Amino acid sequence: MFRGLSSVGPDRVASPRAGTGPHRFATYSEMQLQHKLSKSYWEYYRQFCKPGFNNPEKPLSQVLRDEDCPSMIMPSRPCMWYCSMELSQLRHIPGSDVAIVEVGLQTDLKVYLQLTQTWIIFLVSLGVTEATILLMLIFLRRRVRVAITLLREASKAIGHIMSTLLFPVITFHLLTVGISYWTFNQTNISTLAPCHGSQCLFAFYGGETSYHRNLFQLQLSNLLVFLWLVNFSLALEQCTLAGTFASYYWAKRKP
Tens of pLDDT, residues 34-77: 877 878 888 888 888 888 888 888 888 788 888 888 887 766 55
Q: pLDDT value at position 23? A: 64
Tens of pLDDT, residues 76-89: 556 777 778 888 88
Tens of pLDDT, residues 116-139: 888 888 889 988 988 898 888 888
Is the pLDDT at 8 greater than 60, yes or no?
Answer: no
Query: Would you place residue 2 in the very low, low, confident or very high pLDDT band (cuts 50, 70, 90)?
Result: very low
The overall average pLDDT reported for the chain is 77
Q: pLDDT value at position 123? A: 87
96 Cβ partners below 8 Å, 6+ apart? 90, 114, 115, 116
Q: pLDDT value at position 6? A: 37
Q: pLDDT value at position 14? A: 45
Query: Would you place residue 232 in the very low, low, confident or very high pLDDT band (cuts 50, 70, 90)?
Result: very high
Q: Which pairs from 54-57 meet CB under 8 Å and 24+ separation?
A: 56/31, 56/32, 57/32
b/e sequence 106-145, b meaning 16+ C-beta within 10 Å: eeeeeeeeebbbbbeebbeebbeebeeeeeebeeebeebe
Contact of 146 with 121, CB cutoff 8 Å: no
Range among 17-26, 59-68, 225-234 with highest mean pLDDT value: 225-234
Q: pLDDT value at position 175? A: 92
Whole-model pTM? 0.42
Percent of the chain residues past pLDDT 90, beyond the cut: 11
How would you write the chain as a 3-class SS string?
CCHHHCCECCCCECCCCCCCCCCCCEEHHHHHHHHCCCCHHHHHHHHHCCCCCCCCCCCHHHHHHHCCCCCEECCCHHHHHHHHHHHHHHCCCCCCCCCHHHHCCCCCHHHHHHCHHHHHHHHHHHHHHHHHHHHHHHHCHHHHHHHHHHHHHHHHHHHHCHHHHCHHHHHHHHHHHHHHHHHHHHHHHHHCCCCCCCCCCCCCCCCCCHHHHCHHHHHHHHHHHHHHHHHHHHHHHHHHHHHHHHHHHCCCCCC
- The number of CA neighbours under 13 Å toward the Cβ of 113 is 8
Average pLDDT over residues 179-205: 67
Average pLDDT over residues 106-117: 79
Q: pLDDT value at position 211? A: 67
249 Cβ partners below 8 Å, 6+ apart? 153, 157
Average pLDDT over residues 218-235: 90
C-alpha–C-alpha distance, residues 186 and 104, integer Å: 49
C-alpha–C-alpha distance, residues 134 and 139, integer Å: 9
Higher pLDDT, 173 or 92: 173
- Residue boundaries of the structural domains of the chain: 1-160, 161-194+204-249
Query: Would you place residue 227 in the very low, low, confident or very high pLDDT band (cuts 50, 70, 90)?
Result: very high
Contact of 2 with 57, CB cutoff 8 Å: no
Q: pLDDT value at position 12? A: 41
Q: Which range is least confidently modeled, 18-27, 54-63, 139-148, 171-180? A: 18-27
